[in-house]
């Protein structure tokens, strides 16, 4: 397979439901869409949504890197997109979202050329899993109202953004537990908004709420302090901002651990290829995986889903990033029914651009 052309388009997409996380509000997503064309006319789609506060990659850097890479990728041949992983890392070292867009586009084209879904080419081990859906930092009444809406739509896994006010966070989660009962798992995500003292208080005050997971409570630079916590508390903690690449994975796998679960995001690590490298480390060390996302097109969600379903360590999905886009740059990718995600039974990632 030889790359004949790479086209890059940029989009600014408002969110239909703006939201807040600890110390940050979001009302729009800046997306880049990549289309790779192979010899013979097969095309593959990828998408990038960089997150500068996590990886340092601005949208300008991402888009610029994509346009430079589009030139040198043309003419390259491959039999498996993973063969180009090292070249992408070397050429775009500070642009993981740009690498992710190119990597998923190459995977999509590969699957289409082979006539099979990407997950089957990677080695499928899962067929369907529920995804969480996220409630931003809101007051108690709005939290409960949004939760009712999600429950009415069939979701049975709720993630709540916390990290600004421990007392309010605990009140929201306590009221939410009263609303949903014992059968609906609740996850909390602090987005690195707590201090260690805040975390200890939060753990003490939510002990009876049966929180399934608590995501990235401390900033990346402070997270090693969690290694001093009891193992049963560490088991519920999820690494997000602390896990960007395989070097982080190797560090986090060392005992005593600071996290019991890792959240892999393609936009953080650079695509399907490096995500699977991180997943192999997790599986070898008995660490559970969550697969997350930014505010993304269905292209990125589908790519993460195919990778997640090829990994034995996958336990959780947090792939709701396309649900609140006011419009998308592609369609297809997955089936969502009663909060459960399944990839489409189509070659590649099962996505196509609007107007195709």
Two structure tokens written together for 133: 């859906």
When divided into structural domains, the chain yields a total of 2
Q: Cα separation of 252 and 282, whole Å? A: 10
Residue 187 pairs with which residues in a beta bridge? Answer: 159, 213
Q: Cα separation of 102 and 63, whole Å? A: 12
Kindly report, residue by residue over 272-289, the tens digit of the pLDDT.
999 999 999 999 999 999
Whether 43 has a pLDDT exceeding 60, the answer reads: yes
Residues 144-160 have a mean pLDDT of 97
**308 with 227, same domain?**
yes
Considering 115, 134, 168, which residue would you say is the last residue of a domain? 115
**252 with 274, same domain?**
yes
Q: Which residues of 215-238 are buried (b: 16+ CB within 10 A; e: fewer)?
A: bbbbebebbeebeebeeeebebbb
Whether 356 has a pLDDT exceeding 60, the answer reads: no
Whether 27 has a pLDDT exceeding 50, the answer reads: yes
Q: Which band of pLDDT confidence, cut at 50, 70 and 90, is reported for residue 355?
A: low
Contact 268, 295 (CB under 8 A): no
Above pLDDT 70, what percent of the chain?
99
Whether 18 has a pLDDT exceeding 90, the answer reads: no
Structure confidence at residue 17 (pLDDT): 83
**110 with 134, same domain?**
no
Please count the other Cβ atoms lying within 10 Å of the Cβ belonging to residue 353: 17
25/104: higher pLDDT: 104
Task: Give the least confident one: 36-50, 248-262, 342-356.
Answer: 342-356
**76 with 38, same domain?**
yes
Q: Cα separation of 244 and 315, whole Å? A: 19
What CATH number is associated with residue 178? 3.20.20.120
Above pLDDT 90, what percent of the chain?
95
Considering 75, 92, 115, which residue would you say is the last residue of a domain? 115
Please count the other Cβ atoms lying within 10 Å of the Cβ belonging to residue 113: 17
What CATH number is associated with residue 28? 3.30.390.10
**106 with 137, same domain?**
no
Q: Which band of pLDDT confidence, cut at 50, 70 and 90, is reported for residue 114?
A: very high
Q: Cα separation of 311 and 276, whole Å? A: 8
**53 with 202, same domain?**
no
**46 with 194, same domain?**
no
Q: Domain residues for 101? A: 3-115
**243 with 158, same domain?**
yes
**177 with 259, same domain?**
yes
Whether 23 has a pLDDT exceeding 90, the answer reads: no
**70 with 199, same domain?**
no
**241 with 291, same domain?**
yes
Whether 108 has a pLDDT exceeding 50, the answer reads: yes
**224 with 290, same domain?**
yes
φ/ψ of residue 18, rounded to 5: -55, 155
Kindly report, residue by residue over 199-250, the tens digit of the pLDDT.
999 999 999 999 999 999 999 999 999 999 999 999 999 999 999 999 999 9
Whether 327 has a pLDDT exceeding 70, the answer reads: yes
Kindly report, residue by residue over 307-325, the tens digit of the pLDDT.
999 999 999 999 999 999 9
Whether 354 has a pLDDT exceeding 90, the answer reads: no
Please give the span between the terminal C-alpha atoms of the chain, in angstroms, as a whole number.
22
């Amino acid at each position: 397979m030889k790359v004949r052309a790479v086209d890059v388009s940029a989009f600014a997409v408002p969110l239909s439901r703006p939201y807040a996380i600890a110390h940050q509000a979001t009302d729009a997503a800046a997306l880049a869409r990549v289309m790779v064309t192979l010899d013979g006319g097969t095309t593959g789609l990828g998408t990038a949504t960089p997150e500068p506060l996590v990886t340092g990659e601005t949208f300008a850097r991402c888009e610029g890197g994509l346009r430079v890479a589009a030139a040198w990728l043309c003419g390259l041949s491959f039999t498996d997109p993973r063969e180009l992983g090292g070249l992408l890392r070397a050429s775009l070292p500070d642009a993981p979202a740009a690498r992710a867009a190119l990597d998923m586009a190459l995977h999509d084209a590969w699957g289409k050329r082979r006539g099979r879904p990407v997950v089957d080419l990677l080695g499928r081990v899962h067929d369907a899993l529920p995804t969480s859906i996220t409630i931003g930092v809101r007051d108690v009444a709005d939290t409960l109202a949004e939760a009712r809406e999600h429950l009415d739509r069939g979701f049975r896994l709720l993630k709540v953004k916390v990290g600004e006010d421990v007392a309010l966070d605990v009140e929201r989660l306590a009221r939410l537990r009263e609303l949903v009962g014992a059968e609906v798992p609740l996850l909390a995500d602090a987005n690195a908004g707590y201090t260690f003292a805040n975390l200890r208080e939060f753990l003490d005050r939510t002990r009876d709420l049966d929180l399934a997971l608590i995501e990235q409570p401390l900033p990346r630079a402070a997270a090693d302090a969690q290694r001093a916590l009891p193992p049963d508390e560490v088991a519920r903690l999820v690494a997000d901002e602390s896990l960007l690449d395989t070097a982080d994975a190797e560090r986090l796998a060392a005992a005593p651990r600071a996290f019991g679960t890792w959240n892999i995001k393609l936009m953080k690590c650079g695509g399907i290829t490096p995500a699977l490298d991180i997943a192999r480390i997790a599986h070898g060390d008995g660490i559970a995986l969550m697969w997350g996302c930014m505010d993304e097109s269905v292209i990125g969600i589908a790519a993460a889903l195919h990778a997640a379903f090829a990994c034995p360590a996958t336990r959780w999905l947090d792939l709701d990033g396309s649900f609140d886009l006011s419009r998308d740059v592609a369609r297809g990718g997955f089936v969502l029914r009663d909060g459960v995600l399944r990839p489409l039974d189509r070659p590649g990632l099962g996505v196509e651009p609007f107007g195709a």
